[in-house]
Structure 1
């Protein structure tokens, strides 16, 4: 999502089936049945932290779900400097990470990288806010009494954004949660009626209700202006592109980050994952700081979520974003093709990877009503041959796209294996512990094709992650594994063959161990 010098940033599916699967897997809301028996480290961590600091367990889970979908992203920080699944923040204006360290005695490293410690730190921070608000032991049993403490946890200075954050947490409580973590653990919260005591936020206009100033550029959008130092009034070029971003953080957190004078970033619009709500932060006539070289000539659209977790990319989000993009292409006469509707990673002079390999460009462009040409890259092949300097063609385009998506800049996806692609390949190989020779053979293909999250997949699973697994197995085994997104008997056999040949436990299930081996290029 970033533009000016500043913080970091880190595939096509079948149309209808993929969209439906995304909705079912991403909302997290359901009538929660009892979770299965077995090891439950994250659930136990929530229970222990809640008991230790007298914070309602369900409230603590709802805060974590809203921040990260219970994914710690392997310790990498969000765009706002937030860490772990509870998003403990360390940036120039917010320091909940330091507060958690002082309250718990845990190190900043443990709070960033150990999920249980991260949860404990968040519980300690919330309890300190409750104490400051004067909540008694009796009050703390009432989830509704925690509203102001939850709003404060957002770290935003804007009361409307703080209310949006807290309202989202209480919406999760009302709807219930049935979420599966990246490690396959199931976390549930029963749907419950909670009357939030909004206290000083009761008089604050709700962005969710569309109260207050609305966008004058796009009717359906709410208006929450970015800090004046995070964009430039006016433009130096005509609008010719729409740039698609992923926030690397929550919806409310990203809107708040644009309002933070220390961020030096902004986007024109942000789309919420759960329902496709749109908030505008910069007027279209002005230059948002979102895509460096393309700032002056583009409109930036952020999408709530993280590039490595496709659960954020719901059908509601795709449809809402596509409607906005249709509006923009009509208004500015922008061609509806992939040369003019681009990802952040495709903008020259940028070092970001969003929207990443989990963004479904084919589906999105069909919703926009445009052409998927001018940039769509095929990743599905019956084999993955060795590539080196001088190679050309669609396999090279696939490799370049995958390298760019993982943050190793191969430059333009042009199908020509030149110096940039060689250097990007060497950097990727070095990062994965592979021989850094700049040649993409079996091991490098396997690591590239499998890169991403490590969901537990088994017979009956379907979707983008299954396709990713099937591509990686095709490269690793040196034989064709049908790439159809359906985990059937053929994929089960391929997984078992891979596990057996690599000395792994042979169960036909792609779990953390199998993914780890694939991503290491084994």
Structure 2
């Protein structure tokens, strides 16, 4: 619909001119149903005098033009323009307020149970752009949250208002750099410029895609656009943020250091000093979400009584904060073996209450993780780039408390596209191993409990990276059981229940095929899933050596008792409550050494890496990875 208030004809700049002319040559009501969003962008651009390619570029970096079923992002943003409203999305907590997981995951120390955080009394102004847009349009916040057309108008109005404040009158996209930078909501000029650079990079290359609700949208490439970057200097943003040294140059990254500090009672916080990779190889990067907002996460990382991870990525603009040097060990994964060999990257937001992540966050995170993976030789696959939900419990008792972030709405397929390692078929038809690869937008399992874990309330229907497993080749058959999570009980569709669920990019050994269904080996059971959610894979699989009826499965790859020197208590090899039986096969992520980093005192001179003769194989045993003794298995190729 065209609106008479403040309507102005705007030329979309360069190659965008043709798109405007074509899109406006027919009445709005004559547009095909799947072209309505494109028309909404054209109409809003005209009404508020915003170049079309600028409006499309900003929206793409926020939402990729998706509606996301009207649900909020992980940073309380709604709709294609990511208008934010903290009042209706998310509750400020922290990732470690929940489930009782000990983030250190080291039996040699007392369990660390951080105190719950409190929701702030005042709503940060930067998280209430919906109110600013509502005031400009003389409408209400609810309309802007739920109506995609009005949401786009609200975003266009905000851009036009930022342009007015800059005092720039132009219909050329190159003259809107300052307004785009301001739209990021960044308080730091480098972060604002990085956001704007990503938008203009998208404008230069163009984009076309079908949104999650079936809308065909195109941003015509404008390779000749050269924005006036000096405009960002007039926004009055902070320029003195201390830069972090371990980030790629293509992202905005600042130093927000975590304190390594001795505490009363002989404890200390909030991470461990080490000398990686000289002391231990870094072989894993763990993707988390904060279960809280940016300011709260940074405050917690700077609390010596709390815990710290290596990096946090902000939703609205992709700003990165580094807290712990990568040479040191963060307390983030809930499994000390994994902590000692990994880098933890937190992402602002919520795995359930907020269900989608901004494109700005995905891009910034992928650049960081790609940089770290290249620096430390971490393979770009789902055995080494894992979610917190893929980290195993340390002992049977800790399994129920392990975390499930970043949740089933993190788009692993898109993330690996950005990493330059797309998830695709690597094996031939009929291969004995498959990669999980559903179509994200079309794959919509009906999870429950997004409002409150365990409530049973259905979540909004929307795309997911997760595929649910069944006990038979029938969608009506029961889910699998997870002895560690549920004992003899059956898994559920609760959004936090990973007991009968696989994730995009994970690889599993084939256990059978029937009609349009494929079975995989999963926690000692055959789990059935639709064949159109997997692609053939190649790689190594592990199976018990001949003569072994069953072999133990472990949640950490610790050395044999005889490897520990005097004064360091041997760590127990605690088998998990799962059965790896003869005839079963599991995807192997690689052979890993047996190691234990003994770091239980503030004095780093007492820290020792214990190495054993035993070697382990990381296997994709269920939703989480596990470890088996190399001497117990035969490794063979699947192709």
Q: TM-score range by the shorter chain?
A: 0.5 to 0.7
| Aligned match of 2:412 | 359
Give the alignment partner of residue 59 of structure 1, picking from 40, 54, 60.
54
Q: CA RMSD in A?
A: 5.9
Helix, strand or coil for the counterpart of 2:480?
A: helix
Q: Using the alignment, how far apart are the partners of 1:226 and 1:355 within structure 2?
A: 30
| Aligned match of 1:300 | 344
| Aligned match of 1:116 | 149
Tell me whether 1:154 sits opposite 2:154 in the alignment. no
Q: Is the 8 A contact 1:231 1:286 kept in 2?
A: no
Q: Using the alignment, how far apart are the partners of 1:155 and 1:471 within structure 2?
A: 52
Structure 1 residues 195, 236: closer, same or farther in 2, change over 3 A?
closer
TM superposition shift of 1:304: 11
- Post-superposition Cα deviations, 1:334-358, rounded to whole Å, max 9, x if no partner, equal 9x995x8641223544353437585
Give the alignment partner of residue 198 of structure 1, picking from 229, 233, 243.
229
Q: Using the alignment, how far apart are the partners of 2:160 and 2:135 within structure 1?
A: 13
Q: Is the 8 A contact 1:396 1:417 kept in 2?
A: no
Structure 1: gaps (5+ residues): 1-30, 205-211, 249-253, 367-371, 389-394, 401-410, 432-437, 453-463, 465-469, 487-522
Q: Using the alignment, how far apart are the partners of 2:228 and 2:410 within structure 1?
A: 41
TM superposition shift of 1:47: 1.5
Tell me whether 1:187 sits opposite 2:187 in the alignment. no
Structure 1 residues 289, 482: closer, same or farther in 2, change over 3 A?
closer
Helix, strand or coil for the counterpart of 1:396?
A: coil
Spell out the pairing of 1:388-467 with structure 2 (5 A cutoff).
396=480, 418-419=488-489, 421-422=490-491, 424-425=492-493, 427=494
Q: Using the alignment, how far apart are the partners of 1:151 and 1:187 within structure 2?
A: 23
Helix, strand or coil for the counterpart of 1:301?
A: strand
Give the alignment partner of residue 38 of structure 2, picking from 39, 43, 64.
43
Q: Is the 8 A contact 1:230 1:261 kept in 2?
A: no
| Aligned match of 1:224 | 253
| Aligned match of 1:350 | 403
| Aligned match of 2:596 | none
TM superposition shift of 1:54: 1.4
Q: Using the alignment, how far apart are the partners of 1:84 and 1:471 within structure 2?
A: 41
Q: Using the alignment, how far apart are the partners of 1:83 and 1:293 within structure 2?
A: 35
Structure 1 residues 221, 310: closer, same or farther in 2, change over 3 A?
closer
Q: Is the 8 A contact 2:251 2:364 kept in 1?
A: no
How many residue pairs were aligned?
368
Structure 2: gaps (5+ residues): 1-17, 24-29, 87-123, 236-241, 262-268, 275-279, 302-307, 392-400, 425-432, 437-465, 508-512, 519-527, 536-639
| Aligned match of 2:138 | 105
Larger radius of gyration: 2
| Aligned match of 2:245 | 215
Q: Is the 8 A contact 1:474 1:481 kept in 2?
A: yes
TM superposition shift of 1:196: 1.0
Q: Is the 8 A contact 1:235 1:287 kept in 2?
A: yes
Structure 1 residues 66, 269: closer, same or farther in 2, change over 3 A?
same
Q: Using the alignment, how far apart are the partners of 2:157 and 2:370 within structure 1?
A: 41
Helix, strand or coil for the counterpart of 2:208?
A: strand
Tell me whether 1:96 sits opposite 2:118 in the alignment. no
| Aligned match of 1:15 | none
Helix, strand or coil for the counterpart of 2:326?
A: coil
Structure 1 residues 152, 343: closer, same or farther in 2, change over 3 A?
same
TM superposition shift of 1:125: 0.9
| Aligned match of 1:235 | 271
Structure 1 residues 246, 190: closer, same or farther in 2, change over 3 A?
farther
TM superposition shift of 1:156: 0.8
| Aligned match of 1:172 | 202
TM superposition shift of 1:111: 1.3
TM-score (norm. length: structure 1): 0.53
Structure 1 residues 49, 223: closer, same or farther in 2, change over 3 A?
closer
Structure 1 residues 482, 75: closer, same or farther in 2, change over 3 A?
closer
Of structures 1 and 2, the one scoring higher in RCO (CA 8 A, sep 6+) is 1
Q: Is the 8 A contact 1:345 1:352 kept in 2?
A: yes
Helix, strand or coil for the counterpart of 2:187?
A: coil
Q: Using the alignment, how far apart are the partners of 1:315 and 1:149 within structure 2?
A: 21
User: If each structure's helix is expressed as a fraction of its own residues, which one has the higher value?
Assistant: 1
Q: Please say which of residues 304-313 and 114-123 is displaced more in the overlay.
A: 304-313
- Post-superposition Cα deviations, 1:114-140, rounded to whole Å, max 9, x if no partner, equal 21111111111111111111123xx2x
Q: Using the alignment, how far apart are the partners of 1:143 and 1:100 within structure 2?
A: 21
